[in-house]
Amino acid sequence: MKTSVAIIGGGPAGLLLSEMLHRQGVDSVVLEARSRDYVLARIRAGVLEQTTVDVLRENGLGERMDAQGHPHDGMRIVWAGRSSYFINCYEHLGKRFMAYGQTQIQEDLFAAADRRQARVLTEATDVRPMDVASDKPYVLFRHNGVDERLDCDYIAGCDGFHGVSRKTIPPTHLQEFEKAYPFGWLGILSRTAPLPDVTYANHPRGFALASMRSSNLSRYYVQVPLDDKIEDWSDDRFWSELTARFPPKMAARIQTGPSIEKSIAPLRSFVAEPMRHGRLFLCGDAAHIVPPTGAKGLNLAVSDVFYLSRALAAVYRDGSERLIDSYSAMALRRVWSSVRTSWYLTNLLHRFPTATEFDQRAQEAELDYLNGSAHAQASLAEQYAGMPFEPA
């Protein structure tokens, strides 16, 4: 088999890259380890920054998002015993958000790939990027019981945090930065009407978040100890813990119902630099992980894909390697900006088991400052909304 760009991983990063390359006349093959059903069953993030919404619309992926998604203007913050405040990104920056599930984006991406009869090989196992530092890289894999070889010009590693791509880069050429947080998020999805705003709560019992996917689909989270098990959390226990963490008036407006998904995820920040080794380029979770606070993960995957598709298209269009040479540095500037924002929001909003009274007072002072200062709100609005893409 032969193609221009071999894409490892068919998550949102891999499928979007394939779509955007196709629209710029560049051929690709996607190799995904799992089945399509498995990939489509994953429940993940769901708040899209304006830049992400624009990219999806510009690439023919906006129709269902615009019909079913929930547009909103910012985030609400509440904390124990105080009034809440709204960080209005539309007012400060003219930027909006869309609540629309990654699961739905993944469906839209598969549908678009089917329409153009894209080569997306699912259940491709033993995927191995080879000779990535040479100018003739290739990928070995197994598909339908047959050993295959895919020759290509470039390889895009879009295979998530546990993928094979990053691991093929020699440790001497890769620097990793990591921070683990001492808690996880227990999340549920329920067919109930959401609160009107995406609302982050800092409470003595721990952090809680009210979010949404559509007008009748809610997503809620509570901070839990890392060793908590999903079996310990009945729906009843979840709802009573969630509502205990919101002010009574807000809690009274939370509609409860059976969970249709329930999972616990640990929180961590991770960045690998550079995002390129020879002809291998990393995109999305393969290169970086953020804690979910601030909903940056999927948006970063989209910005990596935006930069990489633009850079690869320039190579095939006019032979210019300028943008692929600056891909890693450009992508990492936006990555670190979002890594910092999600770390800041994680620190601001969670109860750390090791926090001293001093830490607690400092956190409350920060929340008070945000409440009272238009400058602080404008700064947070800018970070929450996400930085604009850099020009080519």
Does the footprint of ligand APR cover residue 48 (CB under 6 A)? no
102 binds, among ligand APR, ligand PHB, none (CB under 5 to 8 A by kind): ligand APR
Binding residues vs ligand PHB (CB under 6 A): 45-47, 198, 209, 211, 219, 292-295
User: Is there a catalytic annotation at residue 173?
Assistant: no
Residue 13 Cα distances to 87, 134, 300, 307, angstroms? 29, 24, 9, 12
291 binds, among ligand APR, ligand PHB, none (CB under 5 to 8 A by kind): none
User: Is there a catalytic annotation at residue 384?
Assistant: yes
211 binds, among ligand PHB, ligand APR, none (CB under 5 to 8 A by kind): ligand PHB
SS3 call for 392: coil
Does the footprint of ligand APR cover residue 96 (CB under 6 A)? no
Which of these is catalytic: 12, 129, 194, 292?
292
16 binds, among ligand PHB, ligand APR, none (CB under 5 to 8 A by kind): none
Give the type of residue at 242: L
Query: Is-contact 113 18, C-beta < 8 A?
Result: yes
Does the footprint of ligand APR cover residue 7 (CB under 6 A)? no
User: What is the separation, in whole angstroms, between the first and last Cα of the chain?
Assistant: 32
Among 163, 184, 187, 291, binds ligand APR (CB under 6 A): 163
**Helices assigned H by DSSP within 138-183:** none
Distance CA 195, CA 216 (A): 10
Does the footprint of ligand APR cover residue 157 (CB under 6 A)? no
Among 7, 18, 26, 44, binds ligand APR (CB under 6 A): 44
Cis ω before 129 (30° cut-off from 0): no
Report 204-223 residues binding ligand APR (CB under 6 A).
Answer: none
Please classify residue 249 by burial: count the beta carbons closer than 10 Å to its beta carbon, then call 0-12 exposed, 13-18 middle and 19+ buried: exposed
Listing from the earlier edge strand, what are the strands of the sheet with 74-79? 85-88, 74-79, 198-202, 208-214, 217-224, 175-190, 259-273, 288-289
Query: Is-contact 102 44, C-beta < 8 A?
Result: yes
Which of these is catalytic: 100, 220, 307, 384?
384
**DSSP conformation class of 2:** B
Q: Which stretch binds ligand APR (CB under 6 A): 27-35, 234-242, 260-268, 339-347?
A: 27-35
User: Is there a catalytic annotation at residue 154?
Assistant: no
List, by residue number, the catalytic residues. Answer: 72, 200, 292, 296, 384
